[in-house]
Amino acid sequence: MPEPLLPPLAVGGLVHHRAGVDALEAFRFPDEAEALAAAGQRFGGALLLQTCNRVELLVPGTGPELETFLSDSGRSGFSLAEGSEAVRHLLEVACGIDSMIMGEDQILGQLRGALVLSREAGVLSPLLEECVNTAVHLGVEARQRTEINRGAVSIGSAAVQLAEDLLGSLGGRHILVIGSGEMGMLVTQALAARELTAIYVANRTHGRAIELARKIGGKAVHLDELRRYLILSDVVISCTSAPHPVLKVEELKEVMKGRCWPLEGEPRPLILIDIAQPRDVEEGAERVAGIHLCTIDSLRLISEQNMETRRGEADRVRALIDEELGRCVRLLNRKAADAPLASLHTWAERVRERERDRALKRLGQADSHTLEVVDDLSRVLAGRLLADATLAVRRAAEAGRLDEADRLVGAITGLSPPVPPSEPLSDEIMTPTGDDACIPKSA
């Protein structure tokens, strides 16, 4: 067990382990900037990680405080971790062992994206930045030192595998991909390895659809042509970032009419795989005749198969996390010593300046060189005298004993609580007399 984490840190939210797609969608923060601003105002910092299978908020606060905030925002059923367990959870997320598809690499980019979003919102505290950067660094290292991501599939490629499982083979099929962001790119890359008759790519920004289609030898289509290509396709994989459904029930009913052969009453089946969050396919589409709808929940079997093949590598990654956790907690705890050390050095600087000025006064008229030598001497002496004390305070904080760090500072300065930076020292703290004229009474 690592030492207790001194600075308050908590993470709370909903992940695929505990919730299906409906619960995740209801739990999401539709306006991320607004959510970050509210959390930042409450906690002095916030980081929001929202992917297709997790919604989590990381704050420099306590578990009960975060629980109150999430409850006040209308959320329920979430899990919480605080202190060193919050750090452990973040490391597990970055290393890919908490992902639906174990070992997937996309979470590293998603963490970096959350970091950027938090910084742009002005709510990225130093503690959160340190935690996320440490987690991302370990995530990269874990993938280099283990085979946790060897042959790993992403959510996007898992969706392609699901389509292949449902159809037996994708050979000779027509596939439509809606969305050309990171997930769309992963989907089309996985599709490009199959012997398809055609890959169509649609996106709100047509230029991006053209760029992605060119990379994989597909065809870019305009959104206003969507109905035609829905009729042509065997599988549709939708993964946009739209805040509302892009495939609506009434439109899909018309599409299915167009998929009927002249002499048959039933439409040709259409597989819709919706891996967007929030969902791209309107609720109720699964009841339209001929449509087979799959969501993130449908990928769980693939996830379980993937987890089974990587169980041994996951154990190796957990060993790395155990090693890193203690180091990370100690590093964060060191920062908790900044406040008492600032007080110590503020006190020492005032003492130094006072005694320097008294010495210079005794010298009488001194030239600039003498003034500089005396000032440098007093500064070096103060630094040397405080070196061991500073190290002791840091070590006490690293071990989670901030009260001991405070007592050390108090013992040196004779002040309890430590002197604020703006408060002057009284003559009672240090009164030079005789041979001890330059030694603090409290020393």
With a pLDDT cut of 70, the percent of the chain lying above it is 91
Q: What is the mean pLDDT of residues 344-369?
A: 88
Does residue 52 have an active-site annotation? Answer: yes
Label residue 264 by pLDDT band (50, 70, 90).
Answer: low
Q: Taking all residues of the chain, what is their mean pLDDT, rounded to a whole number?
A: 87
pTM recorded for the entire structure: 0.77
List 52, 95, 131, 294, catalytic entry: 52
Percentage of the residues of the chain whose pLDDT score is greater than 90: 54
Band (2; pLDDT cuts 50, 70, 90): low
Predicted pLDDT at 146: 93
241 vs 89, higher pLDDT: 89
Digit-coded pLDDT (tens) for 275-306? 998 899 999 999 999 999 999 888 887 888 77
pLDDT digits (tens, 9 = 90+) for 367-387: 889 889 999 999 999 889 888
| Residues 79, 18 contacting (CB under 8 angstroms) | yes
Q: What is the CATH T-level fold of the domain 10-152+310-333, as seen in this structure?
A: Beta Polymerase; domain 2 (3.30.460)
pLDDT band at 333 (very low <50, low <70, confident <90, very high): confident
pLDDT of residue 254: 94
Domain boundaries, the chain: 10-152+310-333, 155-300, 337-436
Domain covering 155-300 assigned CATH 3.40.50.720 in the classification = yes
* Confidence tier at 433 by pLDDT (50, 70, 90): very low
Q: How confident is the model at residue 363 (pLDDT cuts 50, 70, 90)?
A: confident
pLDDT value of position 248: 95
Would the pLDDT of 94 be above 90?
yes
Lowest pLDDT segment from 10-14, 78-82, 148-152, 347-351:
148-152
Does residue 408 have a pLDDT over 90?
no
For residue range 164-181, what is the model confidence (pLDDT) as tens digits? 889 988 888 999 999 988
Residues 272 and 283 sit within 8 Å (Cβ to Cβ): no
Nearest to 270 by CA among 174, 189, 186, 183: 174
What integer pLDDT is reported at residue 190 of this predicted model? Answer: 86
pLDDT-based confidence at residue 263 (cuts at 50, 70, 90): low
* Whether pLDDT at 437 is above 50: no
What pLDDT is recorded for position 431?
A: 37
Mean pLDDT, to the nearest integer, of 404-420?
72
